[in-house]
Chain A
Amino acid sequence: MKKILLHSILAGYLLFTMAFSVQAAQTFTLILDWFPNVDHLPIYVARHQGYFSQEGLEIRIISPSETADALKLAATGNVDIAVSYEPQTIIAAARGLEIVAFGRLIEHPLTTLLFMKDSGIKVPKDLEGKKIGYTVPGLMDILLAAFAKLNNIENYTAVNVGFSIVQSLTAKKVDAVMGPFKTYETVTMAHRGYEVGYFELEKWGIPDYDELIFVTSLKTMRKNHAALMAFKNSIDRAIAYVRKNPASALEYYFEEVPEADRKTESDAFKLTMPYYARHQNLDPQRWQRFADFAVKYRLIEKAVDVKKILWSAD
């Protein structure tokens, strides 16, 4: 018995030290905005093709447990890079968080207000008095408020649905959801035999914006700005590759993300293709337009100078 005890203690100690073993090379933790899907395809292609390692980078990709975690964790320095949304970044900056945006993934809005076709909703005003879910607290509920203001919806109940878009719609817990992407959830629903309708934000009063961007804390940027620029360049290369070789890019994605559903994500990929960022320059004018819109419609309390958020150095 003493021997078993001794061996167990040794084994436990070994397991313990292994779990904390230090890794070589410059490792960065990147947290996605959502569970891995084709929006993130360029990141996985960059890893698969070795673009990261060629720059001396090792990128550890993790997905959030809560929809609002990514930006939070980047802002506190718990992770190095987060995939975030332009509106979310502006809102966070207005609240005083020291984050900077430095790269792009998706260059136009994908967010929609999604609903079941059989709900009878045809125009935004039909949402009057309804229960509307939102996916990301601190972002989608605010965009919903803006959408409501722009379209004269005075009464509605907002419900946080987190990741559970499909379940909340099909179980009729909500009449519509703000947050699903027109390139993804529409496909998921269709594949399960559900017919949906949606309102695209940019068609109903919200200015154009970068749907998915890369952000980090100001502190992290100051410490690692060369490496983060190298990361940005790798993404750029990857997107160029995806445009040239969509079929193999998709295959590489499935290799990196084996739990992805082939059918859904292949169809979603076709829809997402046109939206991958053609270049990595974040347009200050476009950003300021959104920031001014945000102040005007009281999405944020005080005005934001986007030059402070956009990292321009190289």
Chain B
Amino acid sequence: MRYPKLFSFAGALLVLASWELVCRGFAIPDFILPMPTQIIRVAILKAALLLPHAGTTALEVLLGIFISLAVAVPLSIIMFAHPSVENAIAPFLVASQAVPVFAIAPLLVVWLGYGITSKVLMAAIIIFFPITVNLLEGFKSCDHEYRILFQLMGAGFWKTMRLLFWKWALPHFFAGLKVGVSVATIGAVIGEWVGAQQGLGYLMIQANARLRVDLVFAAILWLSAMGVTMWLFVGFLEKRVITWKQWT
């Protein structure tokens, strides 16, 4: 594989080209399957419409991430400090991941209404598990010998947490954050599907009802772009924070 990037780019182009040809060749109505060219055109021309909705969804995701971090980080630390707490909470943690998020969504909307609160909570719930588990594993992955070194140097648990465990767990933390950031958008959008006044998920439903399926796909395009941007941003942060790793 000489030029892997070129290959994948060519592959994507091939898929898009076939899609376009099939749509044109079989004269498929645009509310069943729109052509890629139409989708891209709408994604660009309707930017003024898409932007505020994208902003709302992005806000929901970011707030969800903040809230999740605010709970997940202290919780992981406490679970690491007290294994009895970890044992007590572990089943709930797994449950939070196992419960299909679209089952909770209608309940949240009934309790919290059509505003952004329910979506923020959806996003927060969906990323809570990856962040907590990864951070906890990160702490646990610290070599026992380093722990003893700190013990012998007279460092108590919290000092060791600050100087050793936290730094050690950072790569794991960012891995969890990267996963979280990609799935947080799913949580927000599902929340919007069930009841919202703004956002890309809301726009998708309204557009679909109006038979503007090209707009639906355009919204999906913008959502993907949002997810990718967030992923890249976390990667950027990761490189800035983890200064000691050799990045290939």
Point out residues on A near B: beta carbons under 8 Å: 1, 8-9, 12, 15-16, 19, 29, 34-35, 60, 62-66, 69, 76, 78-79, 163-164, 166-167, 170-171, 188, 192, 258-261
Contacts of A8 in B (CB 8 A): 66
Instruction: A29 to B212: give the CA distance in the assembly, Å.
Output: 26
Interface stretch, picked from B83-91, B179-187, B201-209, is B201-209
List 17 additional contacts besides A78-B113, A78-B114; criterion CB under 8 Å: A1-B240, A1-B241, A15-B62, A29-B114, A35-B206, A35-B209, A60-B197, A63-B197, A63-B206, A65-B193, A163-B205, A167-B32, A167-B211, A188-B211, A192-B31, A261-B210, A261-B212
25 residue pairs A–B, Cβ–Cβ below 8 Å: A8-B66, A12-B62, A15-B63, A16-B63, A16-B66, A19-B115, A29-B114, A34-B209, A35-B210, A62-B114, A63-B206, A65-B192, A65-B202, A69-B195, A78-B113, A79-B114, A163-B208, A164-B209, A167-B31, A167-B211, A170-B29, A170-B32, A192-B29, A192-B31, A258-B49
Q: Are B49 and A259 in contact (CB under 8 A)?
A: yes
The residues in B between 202 and 248 inclusive whose CB is less than 8 angstroms from any CB of A are 202, 205-212, 240-241
Point out residues on B near A: beta carbons under 8 Å: 29, 31-32, 49, 59, 62-63, 66, 110, 113-117, 192-197, 202, 205-212, 240-241
Q: Are B206 and A78 in contact (CB under 8 A)?
A: no
Q: Which residue of A lies closest to B193 (CB)?
A: A65
Contacts of A12 in B (CB 8 A): 62-63, 66
Instruction: A34 to B66: give the CA distance in the assembly, Å.
Output: 34
CB of A69 to closest CB in B, whole Å: 7
Q: Are B210 and A259 in contact (CB under 8 A)?
A: yes
**A12-B62, A163-B208, A259-B206 known; A19 and B116 CB under 8 Å?**
yes
Contacts of B114 in A (CB 8 A): 29, 62, 78-79
Contacts of B241 in A (CB 8 A): 1
CB of B116 to closest CB in A, whole Å: 6
Instruction: A8 to B115: give the CA distance in the assembly, Å.
Output: 23
CB of A305 to closest CB in B, whole Å: 30
Contacts of A63 in B (CB 8 A): 197, 206
